[in-house]
Structure 1
Amino acid sequence: MLNSLPVELVVEIFLRCIPPSPSVFEVDRIDLCAPRYAPLLLTQICSSWRNIALSAPVLWSRFNVACNLVNRRRQVAQLADLWLSRSGDCLLEVHLAGAMFEVASAESFVATLAQHATHIGVLTLWVDNVALGRIDELRMTFPAIQELRLFNKRNRTHTLTAPGIEEVWSASVAQSLASASTLCRLVLWGVPLSCLDLPCTHITSFCATQEDFNQVAHALQNLPNLISLEAHLHLREADPQSESLPCIHEKLRSLSLKETRGGWLAEFQSPSALTRLTLPSLEELHWSCPDEDSSALDPFLDRSSVCLRKLHLSPMAIWVAGFDLPGTAVFKKPSLAGLQELGISSPKADDFDRFCNVLGSDPTFLHELRRLIVSFPASRFRQRQNGTQDAPDPHAAIQHLAPAIRSRMALAQGKPWMLRSLNINWGHSWDRQGAVSFFESAPELVEPFRALRTQGVDVYVGGTWRRAASLI
């Protein structure tokens, strides 16, 4: 069939077969240059497909190898030379995930990298790699680079210090990157921004894993045009000299803040980074707080005078007894009056009950809301028999939310509700038959969700596992 199509169309079809780039969390576990993935897979079907695949440079424009997989380290240099030679002048993505301890292989790879450096658009490297100092020896520059990812995985719990990074990442390498005027997205895991001399004025997206808030504050102070920030913080002992220092950024629009604790004595630890931030232009906030307490949100909203469009709240630890949902008075503030998307994870039953009561009785409450997501990642669907009254429970959430939806639709008085998507989901450990039996025995709870569907609302109630289908 493909033989009857124009080559250009076949190449477009082949492009759809190539898997997406791995996220920063899985880049060192997925080897997209393996034979089971396109484009290598396409070369094994028949001679016709092989000829088309080998003659289409765009199919070879992404090189993603996980060096920590068995036998990959010795093959990387040879594979890179063969792979990238097929890419022509296409803008490249090069992801070398993991450390190459074989010096000869690493040096050969860097030499191959130098041949294609001028048209590399995305580059991922481990700073504890060997032979990276040769980047400057080969006078390598990256005039087309748009995204840079640097990882330090030698110690996952401690950020690499400035003296340590100089042992494995020479200053000359940073000088090679200093000419990257097109760099706009930066990912640093365990590598402080202060260790690198990079062009900062064009960077609009920054993702970092750091030991404390000070490194994030340094980034906010030195990235004046930053629009999106994703920060994973491991909070440790509080620093009295820095806790009172505010951090203001006038242009940041999207913040994803994930915080964990480094010990058991909370009274000696740093408070949430949210207490030090002032972000007047913020439109989207994803906050996974280190405790089940969300009290830092309200003063942050007042201090920043923001107008949020998206808000996602969750505890960092999914096994907590329950997450303290902000009071309904917080959701009525001008900062959240225009909220269009709200995500809530593991809310305490009493808090969610109060939220649903106001949602169903006040037509002005979150009147701009388009999407509502209620998640229970560590819960199973069953009627609660043991445990505390506040324990997160999807069963109780549906019992609270169904009548609230019915009441809210009645308050609309013939006008369609602005809500366009409703998602209630729970984790992998669940009782499917129990959930089905519950819905069959409680049609009065199912009816409001089906009524929403008749108005064009996308309704999903079910698990989060792969190929799961809505139970309503």
Structure 2
Amino acid sequence: MGRNPNQAQLTAGKSSQAHTQFSSYPPEVLSEIFIQCLPTYSAAPAAARAPMLLTTICKDWREIALSTPHLWSTFILSVDLVKTKDGCSLIRLFDTWLARGGTCPLTMVINGVSSGLRAEHSLPASFISALSRSSSRWHDVNLMLPLADFYRLQANEGLPQLRRLSIKATANTAPLEESESPFPPLNLFSHAPLLEDVSLEYGFILSNVTLPLHQLTYFDSRASTTVIAHYLEVFRKALGLIEIRLDVHNVERWGLSVPVQSNVKSINLRSSLMGENTSLNVLDSLTCPELETLVISGLIPMLSEPLLRFLPRSSPPAAQPFH
């Protein structure tokens, strides 16, 4: 159904009027207005969306948008591991986006996807190079890449601004239960003085990635692992944790104690094994006197002895509901 010509003229007229009104504002005010035009959440670069849209309105707006680095510091980028080649338009866009962001801290999602049936592909060398050069600006980063590509990344200037990190291996991933991994521990994130929020997804447990656990306040492990050492290391070294989220699957009784988690206020335990209360044996090694929230999903814990033992010693003293 065609658009009403009169309506189109009216819309164009309003747009022109708004543009004329805004153009009278000082550049620094327009710059702040442009920042408010950004999507609420990180979004993929698109011609019909800020900030790219702002560069198409007029010459003045383009100059202001290009001289506002904050506009170019947040984005989502999906990279087809099969089709993306060195020198392609996507890599040129990535280079341009990074350059326009200047020195602003980066909030970004990089998702390596495969359009082929096989997943044994890697990111182009030029993309890895550009991503590595920007590492000193990483602030809130979600990387979903082939496991081998994580080892190609470099942080020559360190990770001085990294506060939040989420990593997931999308290919080249050995089973987490294997005693011998084809890859050594990943040390890329070991020197990040501000890192406090970490999510480990498929392909990563603490035996194959080195993290500054002592400074973390949030830890989320979505790895489908039954390796007890993975959880023990978290609770023994990450004593500053405030919130913990763990996937637990048939974790046997540890028989080992860990330090009292005096800062923990929230625990979220997840399992895909409905009714497998053995997964809650992790609670037998925990004492969280400041706990405020306990969420258990995928389980039927009502008759779980580990849960009944955990609650009295982990509720705030003034609110102990169990005796």
TM-score, scaled relative to structure 1: 0.53
Contact 1:64/1:95 (CA < 8 Å) preserved in 2? yes
5+ residue gaps, structure 1, are 23-30, 308-332, 338-472
Which of 49, 65, 83 matches 1:37? 49
CA 152–193 in structure 1, closer or farther in 2 if over 3 Å, else same? same
Which of 106, 110, 132 matches 1:92? 106
Which of 206, 221, 224 matches 1:208? 221
Amino acid at match of 2:128: V
Would you identify which runs of 4 or more consecutive aligned residues in structure 1 move more than 6 Å? none
Q: Deviations over 1:45-79 (max 9, x none)?
A: 44443332222100111232122599667554322
Q: Within 5 Å, which residues of 2 pair with 1:288-307?
A: 288-291=297-300, 293=302, 297-306=307-316
5+ residue gaps, structure 2, are 1-20, 115-119
1:199 has 2:216 as partner: no
In 2, the alpha carbon distance for the partners of 1:63 and 1:255 equals 30
Q: Within 5 Å, which residues of 2 pair with 1:166-245?
A: 166=183, 170-171=184-185, 173-174=186-187, 176-190=188-202, 191-210=204-223, 211-212=225-226, 214=228, 215-233=230-248, 235-236=249-250, 239=252, 242-245=253-256
Q: Within 5 Å, which residues of 2 pair with 1:385-404?
A: none
Q: Deviations over 1:150-189 (max 9, x none)?
A: 1124499x647574461xxx54x51x43222221111111
1:334 has 2:319 as partner: yes
Q: Deviations over 1:283-338 (max 9, x none)?
A: 2333325127375654322021426xxxxxxxxxxxxxxxxxxxxxxxxx82369x
In 2, the alpha carbon distance for the partners of 1:132 and 1:155 equals 11
Q: Within 5 Å, which residues of 2 pair with 1:402-413?
A: none
Amino acid at match of 2:242: I
1:282 has 2:291 as partner: yes
Structure 2 partner of 1:57: 69
Which of 16, 19, 22 matches 2:39? 19
Structure 1 partner of 2:139: 121
Deviation, 1:125, is 2.1
Structure 1 partner of 2:166: 149
Q: Within 5 Å, which residues of 2 pair with 1:153-168?
A: 153-154=170-171, 159=176, 163-164=180-181, 166=183
CA 131–246 in structure 1, closer or farther in 2 if over 3 Å, else same? closer
Contact 2:35/2:71 (CA < 8 Å) preserved in 1? yes
Which structure would you say has the larger Rg?
A: 1
Deviation, 1:90, is 0.9
Contact 1:127/1:165 (CA < 8 Å) preserved in 2? no
Q: Within 5 Å, which residues of 2 pair with 1:236-385?
A: 236=250, 239=252, 242-247=253-258, 248-261=260-273, 266=276, 269-271=278-280, 273-291=282-300, 293=302, 297-306=307-316, 334-335=319-320
In 2, the alpha carbon distance for the partners of 1:35 and 1:163 equals 47
In 1, the alpha carbon distance for the partners of 2:60 and 2:178 equals 53
In 2, the alpha carbon distance for the partners of 1:3 and 1:281 equals 54
SS in 1 for 2:269: strand
Contact 2:217/2:242 (CA < 8 Å) preserved in 1? yes
Contact 2:273/2:298 (CA < 8 Å) preserved in 1? no
SS in 2 for 1:260: coil
SS in 2 for 1:183: coil
Structure 1 partner of 2:7: none
Deviation, 1:205, is 1.3
Deviation, 1:130, is 4.5
Contact 2:146/2:172 (CA < 8 Å) preserved in 1? no
Q: Deviations over 1:8-64 (max 9, x none)?
A: 232222222222446xxxxxxxx5223343222333344443332222100111232
Deviation, 1:83, is 0.4
SS in 2 for 1:33: coil
Contact 1:63/1:80 (CA < 8 Å) preserved in 2? no
Deviation, 1:140, is 5.1
Q: Identify the structure with bigger relative contact order (alpha carbons < 8 Å, sequence gap 6+).
A: 2
Contact 1:246/1:278 (CA < 8 Å) preserved in 2? no
Amino acid at match of 2:287: T
TM-score, scaled relative to structure 2: 0.74
Amino acid at match of 2:189: L
CA 301–133 in structure 1, closer or farther in 2 if over 3 Å, else same? closer
Contact 1:252/1:281 (CA < 8 Å) preserved in 2? yes
In 2, the alpha carbon distance for the partners of 1:155 and 1:290 equals 31
Deviation, 1:225, is 1.4
Contact 2:271/2:279 (CA < 8 Å) preserved in 1? no
CA 251–18 in structure 1, closer or farther in 2 if over 3 Å, else same? same
SS in 2 for 1:113: helix
Aligned-residue CA RMSD in angstroms? 3.5
In 2, the alpha carbon distance for the partners of 1:177 and 1:148 equals 9
Which of 29, 45, 61 matches 1:9? 29
Structure 2 partner of 1:411: none
